[in-house]
């Protein structure tokens, strides 16, 4: 949240935009002092005008009485300033609101900004600006470029931009990673070498970048969008790693080149090398399946985003957008919101020496949150110490191909490329057998986490079945949907039998309750997201009795009904347990349980995130300029921490 009082200019712009997103949302113009650049005046009728940087005329931006205005005008003036000061184009080579010529006809619409070539006659760059809330208009810009014969077009709403490039005489539009400055050509821009440190970690949402890529070409490219974008991300991760660690000049190779064939060749080679360095996500014989032309179009969008060191919630949001429906709702898998994850991690408080697992890891959110908590509270904020901790102590399993890829990629971005992330079915260790290289690797590593049962025969059997494990902390949100009918799976579980006979089916999450308790050591603790019915329904009493018998109930947190919308409105709770034995001791006759119900879920009825506002109705931002989610799970976590101290719970 900003500590200084907003200036008069900032207050006015906040009125124009309707909230304080002007200060935090105009990412395209970070570093520009809007108080010096924008000159805004007010007349006697409470109408605001902004001085045009090109003509000096006053342009209307807002009528306070009517509550209407033109926020895009602010974006236009900032672009005029940036074109002039950053890209060095003289103001006398620019014009605003230039009418568009379609053949012999003059179109009624006008382009917002035009930059001419040195002859001051031939259009070179067209800029189409929109209000920060708008996201459409690329097709309109393409038509303007074709009509005017311009080489470059910029679409921008202040927070997001796309730079189109029409390499004459081609009729389709390419893209550029940036604009050439006035003293450079487009070829100069594309031939210019770039280093790792020229790309700062961007606050621009990777989801926005992916959506731009889809709009430009991917949606109609005839490829699996998720897989192809993921390949590009993998290639870029490898390039960033090599540029930072192994290349003396720190040059990045993942970029757009003048020759589209070279662009494809370089990036495909980066992808192939990434697969060799970080095996288990793609096959070595795979290639990027985008055509040479399509790859050339989209690479500029991804080029200017640095992945290593980025805010993981931004990356996670992009992956959630990309994951196909088949890997989400149809299998009952939903990305767990970060505020739910952070609450659970804070309450279980993993230590640097403890092994943490998520047997339904999804995108790895619980594990990444655990890594960062340990880093911040126990490792003095050291990134290298966190990586060492993760290599040794962080474990994840998920059966879905797409989601297991996401978790591995997020671990790479977090700084740990060798963590224990496995594509396995947690409920059926029979599938862990086999001679496949990945299975052998997973099996040998997971065998180090088997419980010592004290008997040679029992340990030998456990080595085959992976039934009892010794993890210290388990955090998970297992898939709710579906019933397990496989008799081979049911035979492995207490809940798979009734009065000594196999049942016909069991709900998936019920088996996860049993499985997760068997994966932690005595005294180990866990958090599991479950349908509320498990804790409330009368026909689930046997489940609750099982829980009381196996573990101490530390806490039950009822989540708000909107928490997992728009994917599902199922009422859910987070159940916190500590397995009896060791530090938890033996079951007493009675003990206190922390109970809480969330009244602020951070989402509305449509599943859109809800953010905090101050007394003036402006969004509240954190120190990184991100809007603060309006939820109460932090307070609930703090309440549990206090409860645990008062009752001397030992973790």
Query: In this predicted model, what pLDDT tens digit does every residue of 353-409 receive, in sequence order?
Result: 999 999 998 878 899 899 989 999 999 988 888 888 988 999 999 887 777 777 777
Distance CA 306, CA 413 (A): 10
Q: Which of 166-175, 296-305, 324-333, 426-435 bottoms out in mean pLDDT, i.e. has the lowest? A: 324-333
The first and second tokens of residue 532, run together, are 């509320």
pLDDT at residue 346, rounded to an integer: 97
pLDDT tens, 443-502?
Answer: 999 999 999 999 999 999 999 999 999 999 999 999 877 889 999 999 999 999 988 899
Least confident of 331-335, 501-505, 543-547, 606-610: 331-335
Measured between alpha carbons, how far is 311 from 308 in angstroms, rounded to an integer?
9
pLDDT for the residue numbered 288: 94
DSSP 497: E
Per residue in 271-282, pLDDT (tens digit) is: 999 999 887 778
Nearest residue to 267 via CA among 294, 288, 286: 288
6 confidence band (pLDDT: 50, 70, 90): low
Which tokens is 233 given? 């991300």
Preceding peptide of 622 cis, ω within 30° = no
Q: What percent of the chain has a predicted confidence (pLDDT) above 90?
A: 44
Which tokens hold the place of 82?
A: 């940036």
List pLDDT tens digits, range 556-568.
999 999 998 877 7
Distance CA 516, CA 547 (A): 11
Contact residues for 646 (Cβ-Cβ < 8 A; gap 6+): none
Pairing mode, if any, of strands 506-507 and 152-156? unpaired
Do the Cβ atoms of 413 and 315 come closer than 8 Å? yes
Cα angle vertex 197, ends 372, 392, to 5°? 30
Looking at the chain, the whole-number percentage of residues with pLDDT higher than 70 is 90
pLDDT at 2 over 50: no
Average pLDDT over residues 430-436: 82
Q: CA end-to-end span of the chain, whole Å?
A: 34
Q: Whose CA is closest to 442, among 459, 422, 462, 426? A: 422
- Report the phi/psi class of residue 34: left, alpha or beta, with left for phi > 0 and alpha for psi in -120 to 50: alpha
Name residue, tokens 């010529």.
101
Lowest mean pLDDT among 51-65, 175-189, 291-305, 314-328: 314-328
Give the Cα separation of 154 and 163 in Å (integer).
5
Q: Tell me the per-residue pLDDT of 144-162, one tens digit each, with 9 for 90 and over.
A: 888 888 899 999 988 888 8
- All CATH 3.90.1570.30 domain ranges of the chain, comma separated, are 91-191
Strands 94-102 and 47-51: unpaired
pLDDT at residue 7 in the model: 74
d(CA 189, CA 187): 5
Checking if the pLDDT of 594 tops 90, the result is yes
Q: How far apart are CA 355 and CA 350, in angstroms?
A: 8
Around 127, how many Cα atoms within 13 Å sit in the side-chain half-sphere?
25
Q: Which of 370, 437, 436, 365 is closest to 403 using CA atoms? A: 365
**Residue 508 to residue 513: CA distance in whole angstroms:** 9
d(CA 9, CA 203): 24
For residue 199, what pLDDT band results from cuts at 50, 70 and 90? low
State whether residue 414 is helix, strand or coil: helix
Orientation of helix 312-322 relative to helix 401-414, angle to 10°:
160
pTM: 0.77
Strand order in the sheet with 594-597: 420-423, 394-398, 356-358, 471-476, 520-531, 572-579, 551-558, 594-597
Query: What mean pLDDT is reported for the chain?
Result: 86
State the pLDDT confidence band at 326, using cuts at 50, 70 and 90. very low
Secondary structure string (H, E, C) spanning 29-86 = HCCCCHHHHCCEEECCCCEEEEECCCCCCEEEEEECCCCEECCHHHHHHHHHHHHHHC
Looking at the structure, give the CATH architecture of the domain made up of residues 91-191. Alpha-Beta Complex (3.90)
pLDDT score, position 289: 92
Q: Any alpha helices (H) in 91-156, and if so which ranges?
A: 138-148
DSSP conformational letter for 27: G
Distance of CA 386 to the CA centre of its chain: 20
506 has which bridge partners?
484
Q: Give residue-wise pLDDT tens across range 230-250.
A: 899 889 989 988 998 889 889
The radius of gyration of the chain from alpha carbons, rounded to an integer in Å, stands at 28
Q: Is pLDDT of 29 > 80?
A: yes
Helix (H) or strand (E) holding 73: helix 72-85
Q: What is the mean pLDDT of residues 316-342?
A: 69
What per-residue confidence (pLDDT) applies to 588? Answer: 85
- CA 327, 332, 333, 334: dihedral to nearest 10 degrees? 120
- What is the architecture, at CATH level 2, of domain 313-646? 3-Layer(aba) Sandwich (3.40)
* Mean pLDDT across 89-96: 95
pLDDT of residue 364: 84
The residue among 323, 358, 320, 321 whose CA lies nearest residue 341 is: 358
Given phi > 0 = left and psi -120 to 50 = alpha, else beta, which region is 332? left
Task: Collapse the DSSP code of 70 into the 3-class scheme (helix H, G, I; strand E, B; otherwise coil) and give the result.
Answer: coil
* Gap between the Cα atoms of 172 and 299, Å rounded: 16
- The string of DSSP letters for 333-390 reads --PPPHHHHHHHHHHH---TT--EEETT-TTSHHHHHHHHHHHHHHSTT-HHHHHHHH
**Where in the sequence of the chain do the CATH 3.40.50.150 domains occur?**
313-646
Higher pLDDT, 120 or 104: 120
Taking only the tens place, the pLDDT of each residue in 605-649 is 888 888 898 887 777 877 766 778 999 999 999 999 999 999 998
Tell me, what's the pLDDT at 128? 93
CB of 524 closer than 8 Å to CB of 473: yes
CA distance 427 to 208: 36
pLDDT at 334 over 50: yes
């Amino acid at each position: 949240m900003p500590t200084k009082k907003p200036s008069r200019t900032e207050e006015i712009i906040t009125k124009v935009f309707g909230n304080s997103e002007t200060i935090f949302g105009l990412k395209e113009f970070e570093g520009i002092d809007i108080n010096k650049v924008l000159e805004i005046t007010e007349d006697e009728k409470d109408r605001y005008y902004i001085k045009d940087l090109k003509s000096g005329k006053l342009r209307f931006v807002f009528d306070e009485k009517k509550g209407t205005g033109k926020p895009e005008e602010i974006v236009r003036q900032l672009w005029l300033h940036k074109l002039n000061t950053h890209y060095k184009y003289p103001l006398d080579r620019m014009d605003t609101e230039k009418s568009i010529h379609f053949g012999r006809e003059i179109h009624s619409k006008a382009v917002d900004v035009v930059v001419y070539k040195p002859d001051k006659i031939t259009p070179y760059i067209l800029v189409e600006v929109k209000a920060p809330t708008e996201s459409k208009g690329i097709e309109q810009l393409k038509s303007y470029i074709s009509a005017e014969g311009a080489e470059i077009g910029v679409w921008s709403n202040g927070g997001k931009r796309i730079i189109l490039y029409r390499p004459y005489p081609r009729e389709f539009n390419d893209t550029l990673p940036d604009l050439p400055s006035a003293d450079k050509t487009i070829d100069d821009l594309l031939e210019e070498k770039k280093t790792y440190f020229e790309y700062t970690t961007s606050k621009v949402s990777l989801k926005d970048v992916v959506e731009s890529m889809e709009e430009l070409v991917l949606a109609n490219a005839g490829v699996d969008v998720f897989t192809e974008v993921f390949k590009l991300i993998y290639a870029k991760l490898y390039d960033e790693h090599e540029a930072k660690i192994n290349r003396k000049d720190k040059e990045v190779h993942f970029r757009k080149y003048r020759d589209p064939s070279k662009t494809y060749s370089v990036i495909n080679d980066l992808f192939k090398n990434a697969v060799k360095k970080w095996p288990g996500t793609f096959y070595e014989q795979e290639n990027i399946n985008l055509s040479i032309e399509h790859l050339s179009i989209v690479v500029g969008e991804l080029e200017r985003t640095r992945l290593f060191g980025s805010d993981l919630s931004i990356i996670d949001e992009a992956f959630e957008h990309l994951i196909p429906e088949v890997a989400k709702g149809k299998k009952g898998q939903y990305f767990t919101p970060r505020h739910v994850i952070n609450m659970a991690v804070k309450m279980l408080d993993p230590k640097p020496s403890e092994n943490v697992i998520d047997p339904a890891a999804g995108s790895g959110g619980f594990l990444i949150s655990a890594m960062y908590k340990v880093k911040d509270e126990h490792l003095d904020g050291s990134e290298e110490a966190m990586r060492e901790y993760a290599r040794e102590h962080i474990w994840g399993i998920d059966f879905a191909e797409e989601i297991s890829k996401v978790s591995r990629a997020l671990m790479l971005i977090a700084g740990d490329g060798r963590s224990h992330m496995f594509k396995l079915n947690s409920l059926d260790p029979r599938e862990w057998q086999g001679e496949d290289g990945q299975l052998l690797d997973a099996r040998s590593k997971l065998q180090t986490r088997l419980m010592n049962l004290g008997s040679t025969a029992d340990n030998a059997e456990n080595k085959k079945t992976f039934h009892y494990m010794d993890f210290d902390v388990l955090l998970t949100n297992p898939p709710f949907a579906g019933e397990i009918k496989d008799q081979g799976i049911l035979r492995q579980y207490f809940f798979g039998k009734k009065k000594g006979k196999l049942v016909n089916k069991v709900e998936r999450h019920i088996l996860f309750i049993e499985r997760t308790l068997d994966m932690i050591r005595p005294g180990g603790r866990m958090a599991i997201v479950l349908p509320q019915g498990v804790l409330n329904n009368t026909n689930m009493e046997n489940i609750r009795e099982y829980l009381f018998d196996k573990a101490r109930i530390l806490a039950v947190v009822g989540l708000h009904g909107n928490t997992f919308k728009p994917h599902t409105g199922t009422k859910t709770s987070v159940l916190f347990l500590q397995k009896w034995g060791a530090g938890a001791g033996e079951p007493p006759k009675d003990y206190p349980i922390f109970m809480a119900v969330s009244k602020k879920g951070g989402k509305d009825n449509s599943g859109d995130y809800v953010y905090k506002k101050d007394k003036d109705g402006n969004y509240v931002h954190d120190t990184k300029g991100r809007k603060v989610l309006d939820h109460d799970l932090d307070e609930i976590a703090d309440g549990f921490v206090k409860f645990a101290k008062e009752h001397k719970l030992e973790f």
